[in-house]
Structure 1
Amino acid sequence: MDLRARLQAATKEAMKARDSTRLSTLRLIGAAVKDREIALRGGDGEGGEMTEADLVAIMSRMVKQRQESAKAYEEGGRLELAAQEEQEIAIIQEFLPRQLSEAESAAAIDAAIGDLGATGVRDMGRVMAELRSRHAGQMDLGVVGPMVKQRLLH
């Protein structure tokens, strides 16, 4: 079952179960997807189709936003709001690909560097693009970037 169908099925299940937190989070995902589809269509009403990678990118962005919000709420002493953000993160992450461990990320970096024949920091953009295409949604490129740079320096 593709990701879009899984999201729709989960939304129906949340409605039947009267799970308001889950339902509202799934509806937020649906709204973000619709917004992106509209943006892809542009003014002429025709445009590209949403791919699985687009859906994963949208949900990854949503997780990152909620992590930042939860941190801000915790710093501000609003623990109940931080807990709500954490619940939403858990729901969204159910639909994202499994994140690679640090060892798996290191192996993926080494493989990309080897496949591309990267020799120095000037090849970092190519390596990052390769990692993005191979492992979309499976690794945080903000965390992986310094690891790539360190490998390319040695």
Structure 2
Amino acid sequence: MSELKQQITNEMKAAMRAKEKARLTTIRMILAELKRIEVDERIELDDTRVLAVLDKMSKQRRDSISQFEEAARMDLADAERQELEVIKTFLPQPLTEEEIAALVKSAADSSGAQSMQDMGKVMAILKPQVQGRADMGIISKLVKEQLSG
């Protein structure tokens, strides 16, 4: 079992003991999603893949929050925010804007990227480095600026 998945399982047990219902529900949802992927693909998830799943779940929560706020459903937006906070506890420390900019420049230099046609090369280098630590939409925007600038 991956280290991160073991940590999530341990947190579930701690939430059960502490009778933290909201946290427990979210952790169970995370574990259910991980289990679904393992069963569907007949694999054992490693930490990298678990991080990718957590990153996807946090992005879904952020999207839901903005949609619920637009629809003036603050009760549902608050519920999504609580889930997002629990999911964030399992993600690594987010990168600062300076760190992201440095990684983008480094990846562009090391790949020899000259134009927008080389964006895929740069993104391929960046993705494993920033997975779960930064929004890929922001990374993509910075790469475009770097390559067009």
Q: 1:142 Cα shift?
A: 1.3
Structure 1, unpaired ranges of 5+: 42-47
Match of 2:38 in 1: 37
Q: Which among 44, 49, 54 is matched to residue 49 of structure 1?
A: 44
**Separation (CA, whole Å) in 1 of partners of 2:114 and 2:134:** 22
Q: Match of 1:64?
A: 59
When normalised by structure 1's length, the TM-score is 0.91
Q: Say what the alpha-carbon RMSD is for the aligned residues.
A: 1.3
Moved segments of 4+, more than 6 Å: none
Q: How many residues align?
A: 148
- CA distances 1:67-117 after superposition (whole Å, capped 9, x unpaired): 121222222222122111101100000000111111110000011111112
Once residues 47 and 104 of structure 2 are traced to their aligned partners in structure 1, the CA distance between those partners, rounded to angstroms, is 23
Distance 1:71 1:133 in 2: 27
Residue aligned with 1:96, SS: coil
Please give the alpha-carbon distance, in whole angstroms, between the structure 1 residues aligned to 2:27 and 2:128: 26
Q: Secondary structure of 2:22's match?
A: helix
Shift of 1:135: 2.3
Identity of aligned residues (%): 36
Are the aligned partners of 2:55 and 2:131 in contact in 1 as well (CA < 8 Å)? Answer: no
